[in-house]
């Protein structure tokens, strides 16, 4: 199975189409084929292998497509998890986009964090 998938990607080329013309074909050396039915499956398999050593497990960490959900009992634990994931993904040429990161508190935790900050 692995050899079959690798053969599909070997020598892969793509063409950019515009309203004016098609750009000359060029080799694709990184990534998944856009629109391929195998792409989501391959993405999940690769992310499973990459994240295996970083995950603690459900329900505190969830991977959904290219989104990562981290949950923790306190702010300090959440920061520790973020640092762990960022440092674990870096050597694999992946990164967390902290610019798109959202943090959500439940009411009881939010009150504790606000009190701590005073």
Tokens representing 3 are: 């050899």
Model-level pTM? 0.57
pLDDT (0 to 100) of residue 106? 73
pLDDT (0 to 100) of residue 116? 52
pLDDT (0 to 100) of residue 5? 76
Which residues, in sequence order, are CB contacts of 86 under 8 Å at separation 6+? 95, 96, 98
Which residues, in sequence order, are CB contacts of 73 under 8 Å at separation 6+? 109
Q: How many residues does the chain have?
A: 118
Q: Give the sign of the dihedral formed by CA 70, CA 64, CA 103, CA 89.
A: positive
The mean-pLDDT minimum among 19-28, 29-38, 67-76 falls in 29-38
Q: What percent of the chain has pLDDT over 70?
A: 85
Report, as an integer, the average pLDDT of 40-44: 80
The answer, yes or no, to whether residue 107 has pLDDT greater than 70, is: no
């Amino acid at each position: 199975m692995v050899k079959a998938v690798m053969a599909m990607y070997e020598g892969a080329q793509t063409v950019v189409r515009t309203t004016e013309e098609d750009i000359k074909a060029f080799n694709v050396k990184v990534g998944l084929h856009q629109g391929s039915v195998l792409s989501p499956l391959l993405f999940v398999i690769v992310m499973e292998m990459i994240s295996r050593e970083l995950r603690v497990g459900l329900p505190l960490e969830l991977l959904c497509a290219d989104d990562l959900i981290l949950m923790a009992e306190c702010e300090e634990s959440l920061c520790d998890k973020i640092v762990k994931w960022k440092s674990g993904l870096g050597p694999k040429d992946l990164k967390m986009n902290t610019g798109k990161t959202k943090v959500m508190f439940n009411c009881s935790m939010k009150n504790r964090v606000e009190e701590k900050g005073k």
